[in-house]
Amino acid sequence: MSIGALGLLGGLGWYLLWRGTEPSKAVNAAAQSGAPQERVSLPDPSQPGPFAVKTLTYGSGTDRYRPEFGREAALKTLPVDGSILLEGSWKGFTGQLRTLAWGFGPDSLPINGRVWYPDGPGPFPLVLMVHGNHNMMDFSDPGYAYLGGLLASRGYIFVSVDENFINGGLTDLVFGFSGENDARGWLLLEHLETWMSWNRTPGSPFYKMVDPQRIAVGGHSRGGEAAAIAAAFNHLPAYPDNAALKFNYGYNIRAVAAVAPIDGQYNPAWRATPLSDVNYFVIHGSHDSDVTSFSGINQYDRVALGDDGDFFKAAVYIYRANHGQFNTTWGDDDRGGLVTGFLNRAALMDGEDQRQAARVYLSAFFDAALKDERGYLPLFQDARAAGEGWLPDSIYINRFDRSGDLLAAGFQEDIDLHTATLPGSSIQAEAVDLWREQRVQSKWGGREASAVYLGWNEDQTASYTITLPEEDLGLSADGALIFSLADALQDPAPADGSQPEQRGAPRQPVDLTVVLEDAQGRAGSVRLGDYLLVQPQLKAGLYKAKLFESKAPSEPVLQSYAIPLADFVEAGDGFDPARTVRIRFVFDRTPRGSIVLDNIGFRR
């Protein structure tokens, strides 16, 4: 081989081993904003609790690769028949290879799990967590031990569910392995069925140890979608795509947690998975090079919270977090194989820091959803509500909604820019250069939900106004005005025809004025920046070279706001919140800008 060829190979090898470059420092809108409205007064949820932790594994007793699910399993379980759900994926020659590799087929799926549980009498809440797709022989289930030990010490039974046998592997090199996410969700319910049997059986080590009224399901990646599927299947009489498979679950699943989930790989009855009256949480990273868009926000938008219950849904988007570091066995190589060498892994936050953020948010979520520790809720509205040292230094964008929120404008109902969601309401805009309603853009294209895009220039003061019906909406000074905002990264009328990011200067946070007016014409106004400025879109270079980037580098991620109506009373001259008739956004503080605005209403 010539010296030149050796040099070329050496250079390529160095490039593949090189971790890449640190990104330039991102503008942090929160650091330029007023102080958070609330701070959590409860203890750090990422710290161990009072319980000593015990562990065991349960399984088929015949696992050929892992003794912990084979001869060493403390509890032996019976296989379940998933052939109806897997008939489109575990089939043909590759299906035969999969059966040969594992020693069983889709009609004999094992119920295997790792358990961390408190050394105490119980009953305790039960949390089932399932991994996503990965090399099926690079076992994923041990990767959540950091959550299992923590939650068990804090009074939970935590199970890391093994579904590696429906992950991809050497048997799927040509066609891949897909169409199995319904089976992943169903298997979670079969595990739950096993747990309920142990809970009611004298002599079982978990006899009366589980509180059947406090159950959560969660998952990572495809497992995150599987958790939502499990919650949707839980109250159905049969599999929605084939009624020959009967269901009889009906468990009290109060919470669903999704970590960097995919969405839409399975659609029950050809519809996006619906959820209602359940607490929901999703966490995602800006530098996820597997699920590159904030896919789980679609499921978030589909979670319906009725007026009668007391449920909430929350989302957090973390700058520089990736896909794999939420699992200790996956690491920072989201794509695997040779592609890993082209990823800019130097741009990622430290793996332990990423898992620390997961500890804080997931532990707080389960405490709020299953133990009614609602004092943690401010954390889900503004990450700055966290105690000192809880969260790693990064940029966090939060979404939050609660049962009973009154929606005035959600932009889903029609194509008329002048109508709102609340009957009898109307919308007007003045001096805006950009005004349209559309599906929110993302790196993968449009999301399911729509919002209004607004843009303005400095030539005159622009505004956007929602006029409400003059009727009793149940508002008082104890409530709050709620809405969600994101940077649209669009310039409605650039002088040189370019987009903002092409003109050199970093995009700055957007500020504006929010005004409420009552039926007597009395108004109260506040500055958005006194609460939280609009975060510029977070750009993520996933690869060392732009040549390999195939998706947009950023996307709008909406931040939720809840401004107390009492603040408008204090700022106004006699403003009466009970008689509010107008909500106005005035673009008078940032000379030129564009935003995405959604979910405008009131928390009562």
pLDDT at 140 (0 to 100): 96
**How far apart are the C-alpha atoms of 79 and 106, rounded to whole Å?**
10
The helix or strand, by DSSP H or E, that contains position 58, with its residue range, turns out to be strand 53-59
Terminal-to-terminal C-alpha distance of the chain: 75
pLDDT at 445 (0 to 100): 73
Q: Say if residue 499's pLDDT is above 70.
A: no
In the DSSP assignment, the letter for residue 511 is -
**How far apart are the C-alpha atoms of 31 and 513, rounded to whole Å?**
19
Judge if the upstream peptide bond of residue 500 is cis by omega within 30 degrees of 0: no
Average of per-residue pLDDT across 319-338? 92
Q: Say if residue 13's pLDDT is above 80.
A: no
**How far apart are the C-alpha atoms of 25 and 9, rounded to whole Å?**
33
Extract the tokens encoding 379: 């954390």
Q: pLDDT (tens digit, 9 = 90+) per residue, 27-70?
A: 999 999 999 999 999 999 999 999 999 999 999 999 999 999 99
pLDDT at 498 (0 to 100): 52
Range of lowest pLDDT (233-237, 254-258, 456-460): 456-460
Give Cα 187 to chain centroid, integer Å: 22
Cα–Cα distances in Å, from 176 out to 136, 181, 260, 444?
12, 14, 21, 21
pLDDT at 488 (0 to 100): 96
Give the neighbor-by-neighbor strand order of the sheet with 426-430: 426-430, 462-467, 580-587, 513-518, 523-527
Nearest to 394 by CA among 475, 478, 293, 285: 285
Q: Say if residue 431's pLDDT is above 90.
A: yes
The helix or strand, by DSSP H or E, that contains position 198, with its residue range, turns out to be helix 181-199
Q: Say if residue 260's pLDDT is above 90.
A: yes
Q: pLDDT (tens digit, 9 = 90+) per residue, 202-228?
A: 999 999 999 999 999 999 999 999 999
Q: Say if residue 503's pLDDT is above 60.
A: no
**Given phi > 0 = left and psi -120 to 50 = alpha, else beta, which region is 294?**
beta
Q: pLDDT (tens digit, 9 = 90+) per residue, 507-516?
A: 899 999 999 9
**565 vs 24 pLDDT, higher one:** 565
**How far apart are the C-alpha atoms of 121 and 216, rounded to whole Å?**
20
pLDDT at 10 (0 to 100): 73
**How far apart are the C-alpha atoms of 424 and 408, rounded to whole Å?**
10
DSSP-derived pairing of the beta strands 157-162 and 279-285: unpaired
137 C-beta neighbours (distance < 10 Å), count: 11
178 C-beta neighbours (distance < 10 Å), count: 14
For 221, phi and psi rounded to 5 degrees? 65, -125
In the DSSP assignment, the letter for residue 440 is E
In the DSSP assignment, the letter for residue 246 is B
pLDDT at 174 (0 to 100): 61
Q: What is the largest CA-CA distance in the chain?
A: 87
pLDDT at 119 (0 to 100): 97
| DSSP3 helix / strand / coil % (the chain, rounded to 5) | 25, 25, 50
90: exposed, middle or buried (C-beta count within 10 Å: 0-12, 13-18, 19+)? buried
Extract the tokens encoding 102: 């594992």
**How far apart are the C-alpha atoms of 37 and 45, rounded to whole Å?**
20
pLDDT band at 502 (very low <50, low <70, confident <90, very high): very low
Q: Say if residue 253's pLDDT is above 50.
A: yes
- 3-class DSSP state for residue 275? strand
For 233, phi and psi rounded to 5 degrees? -70, -25
Average of per-residue pLDDT across 106-123? 97
Per residue, what are the HEC states of 124-176? EEEEEEECCCCCCCCCCHHHHHHHHHHHHHCCCEEEEEECHHHCCCHHHCCCC
Q: pLDDT (tens digit, 9 = 90+) per residue, 72-113?
A: 999 999 999 999 999 999 998 889 999 999 999 999 999 999
Q: pLDDT (tens digit, 9 = 90+) per residue, 152-200?
A: 999 999 999 999 999 988 777 666 678 899 999 999 999 999 999 999 9
Average of per-residue pLDDT across 409-413? 94
Average of per-residue pLDDT across 521-545? 95
Nearest to 115 by CA among 194, 53, 24, 28: 53
Cα–Cα distances in Å, from 529 out to 159, 448, 484, 514, 561?
43, 29, 14, 10, 11
| 181-199 and 222-233 helices, crossing angle to 10° | 60
Average of per-residue pLDDT across 308-336? 94
The residue count for the chain: 604
Rg (CA), the chain: 25
